[in-house]
Structure 1
Amino acid sequence: EALVSALGKKVLSYFQIHQKGRGVVCCRKQGIPKNCFIAEHIGEIYSPAKWHEKETVLKRNKSSSSGSQCDFFNIRLETHLDDEEGKDVMFIDSTFKGNYGSRLKHSCSPNCGTVVMASEGRYTIAIYAIK
């Protein structure tokens, strides 16, 4: 929402990415300034065991459906060594509880980057423009 309000309405557009789902593109001629905050990546948190259970079900459902592609909106996050809950890895899945920031995809030539911050036991994944 910060990006949309900063750049004005109708600057984002969704498009289909073959075998990857949907992505987001900025339609503003000037693009997005370097180091500009774009969005927070949000979603449901899963332990590795729960994530792999869910992934197995999704893959099974995909193989039984006729030619449809799954959308994967997840991030694997390695937590800080001092994490109070003792987790070393968690998965953030934005399939059902996410925002447009979680629809940003990886690229061989990325124009966005993530910054992970921890404050008072809460992790935040911020997405910034890097070009």
Structure 2
Amino acid sequence: MPVSVSTLKTVYWAHARTSMPPTGPVWEPDGGGSLRLYESDELTGVPGQVVIFGFRTKVFVLTVLTLLCPRCGNQAAHPLHRSATKFTLFFIPLFPVRTKYTTQCTFCGVTNRLSKDEANRLHRGIPDQRPRW
């Protein structure tokens, strides 16, 4: 099936605008007025390689507390959450990047961030030693 030169130039131009090398065969002008089909490893000098990485966050419910909500003023259940974000390489979690502790009011939905020490204290059931004004 014949392909027009303008279509091939558009495809090549789209590949040239990206910062990543093309991953498949590419039509390029060969300098003599015609087009030549190049493989991706011919253009970059290295075979095509793919590295899949990212981040995954898992949320764990540590305990459910009955607390007075600072927003709505109701005494309601507040689940204590731990959110652990890990760096992944090829979908395998390798090491933790960030850990957050939060409580959420089940009555109004407000979420409060806690420090690690506050979360551990609430999880163990030790009452607050500081006055809340």
Task: Name the TM tier (shorter chain).
Answer: under 0.3
Q: 1 or 2 for the larger relative contact order (CA 8 Å, sep ≥6)?
A: 1
- For the pair shown, which has the larger CA radius of gyration, 1 or 2? 2
User: What is the TM-score when the length of structure 2 is the normalising length?
Assistant: 0.20
Flag the structure with higher strand content: 2
User: What is the TM-score when the length of structure 1 is the normalising length?
Assistant: 0.20
